Structure 1
């Protein structure tokens, strides 16, 4: 079974209170005439949409074996997910997952894993690329006293989303950089601790919100660039390149995911041929996705409804190196 076939599990949902409506109302009433209009609108929206969000968890053991088959190099974190889900299935307890740090070479499938976990657990997914940050306050927001300031990604994901326990991916955390006034990782010291995260204060909104149920997945290539206090708050996993058979299974999973996501995919068979899988096994999952999408088009241009090895074009530099992808 491929990751595309691992459908969102039937989940049970309780409601979780994200913030105190009285506190928001008081903050709104204290705004003067010259106050930041974006802040005023934020408070008004918080009152309008209310403070309850879905907090979901599977109501039975999800199909983790299918993910293990499709993502064979993610066995350790997936087994830990299985253990934590097993603790709360059949009880009133909410799912608690320790923040994860996935260490591995670029393109090895770390963000794909996070998306698959969100789908498996039946919750939403938010992606934050730390390497492309232009401001250090992207997680925590910037003071409303600053021009063009706005809430951070955590506040926005929770308040404007439907779930109290989304999966939030902090990609390439080791490459975080911001302006000289803000530590881009500063907010994580509170957010990765369950107790302090329950009363997280975004610097723009300045009212506490409960971020204690967020499922955190961080990715990095080199842990040496990550502060020790951040590392100590996370379960750290070394993700190595899959062997050849594992790479073939990943290629099949990506092929199936792309095929099922498009109407034109119905023209193509469910299984890739062995020669095509062998060609793709030389690439990283990131390069596989690009190559497979192009291969679908190449096959159609050739008048075929089947992807062959001759349709697989891997750009120079995407070949697998001995140390990994």
Structure 2
């Protein structure tokens, strides 16, 4: 049984040009006196920070088996990622991953998987919640002519971040909503195609940026509301609920992650107790995380340094949606 979190891999870094400095300088010089101050500041910052960002990949085959052990129901996408990593090891080639769509029940661990993948590959992680959007501006930015306009998440990740190939999670893509004039998924038609992503134009900055190296992870509960052209741009994986043994391994992994992230975790043993594991066997990963964190506190209030089955509460006002095996 694994007890450790996925290790941060040592990465090989090359540099990638994410925008053209001459284009930015031209855009800055073309601004009139009444231009948006935030846009002017953005161009000035782009020139000051430069246009090179790290484009990283593991320097050896990463511990994918450890991640499969911690997240056994994600074995299919991880096996395909292993193949793509193998192709670029010991060469100058960069890691190329097709955009990934993870389909599965709420709370099954899809966004947790994306975070761990970023850690596995040694790059940055960014998160976009589509369920809260009424327009696609959060991805592609809003025109500088609008009040309080600003660049989108993709521009921010590449221009203000350190990496040319971060993992960007577009969560609950099936719940994106918009009005009749603006498609909230519109930016993804260009961003999910490698060729068009290399000259992606944020509506605020209006200069091309190279988003061709971004690693895209989309999640959804129901694919029926996702446009077919978006589906066709991604490798689609249906993530099943873990079986009983898998659920126990996930619970141990989450326990180890929480324990290792806090100084008070040193008081507790490396292995979660059998009683707690049994109490967690039908919980989703999201429910496990909440229950285990509260279980640590319950044990300490009772003066104990081990979580017992009685410390695990999963009812939370009967809101729980159990996952069967």
TM-score strictly above 0.5: yes
Write out per-residue CA displacement over residues 37-66 of structure 1, whole angstroms, 9 at most, x where no aligned residue. Answer: 110000000001000000000010000000
**Cα distance in 2 between the residues matched to 1:125 and 1:37:** 29
How much does 1:134 deviate? 3.9
Distance in 1 (alpha carbons) for counterparts of 2:216 and 2:3 = 20
SS of the residue corresponding to residue 240 of structure 1 reads: coil
2:55 pairs with 1:77? no
Q: Distance in 1 between matches of 2:179 and 2:255?
A: 40
CA-CA distance at 1:6 after TM superposition: 1.8
2:115 counterpart residue number: 115
Partner in structure 1 of residue 319 of structure 2: 317
Q: Secondary structure at the match of 1:187?
A: helix
1:138 CA displacement: 1.1
Give the SS at the match of 1:47.
helix
Structure 1 residues 124 and 3, CA, compared in 2 at 3 Å: closer, same or farther?
farther
Q: CA deviation at 1:149?
A: 0.9
Q: Deviations over 1:236-268 (max 9, x none)?
A: 000000100100000000000000000100100
Can you list the C-alpha shifts for 1:179-205, whole angstroms capped at 9, x where unaligned? 443211000000000000000000110
- CA distance 1:321–1:120, shift in 2 (3 Å): closer
TM-score (norm 2): 0.97
Contact 1:3 1:66 (8 Å CA) reproduced: no
Q: Distance in 1 between matches of 2:97 and 2:278?
A: 36
Q: After superposition, where does 1:235-274 map in structure 2 within 5 Å?
A: 235-274=235-274
Q: CA deviation at 1:133?
A: 1.3
Partners of 2:178 and 2:195 in 1: how far apart? 27
Q: How does 1:1-325 map to 2 (within 5 A)?
A: 2=2, 4-315=4-315, 316-318=318-320, 320-322=322-324
Residue 127 of structure 2: SS of its match in structure 1? strand
Moved more, 170-179 or 79-88: 170-179
For the Cα contact (< 8 Å) 1:167–1:216, is it kept in 2? yes
Residue by residue, what CA displacement relative to the aligned partner does 1:73-106 show, whole Å, maximum 9, x if unpaired? 0010000110000000100000000000000000
Cα drift, residue 177 of structure 1: 1.0
Return the TM-score normalized by structure 1: 0.97
Contact 1:9–1:122, Cα closer than 8 Å, also in 2: yes
- Runs (4 or more) in structure 1 with deviation over 6 Å come to none
Answer yes or no: is the 8 Å Cα contact 2:134–2:176 preserved in 1.
no
Structure 2: where are the runs of 5+ without partners? none
TM-aligned CA deviation for residue 2 of structure 1: 4.0
In structure 1, distance between residues paired with 2:142 and 2:254: 39
Residue 163 of structure 1 aligns to a residue whose secondary structure is coil
- Contact 1:173 1:220 (8 Å CA) reproduced: yes
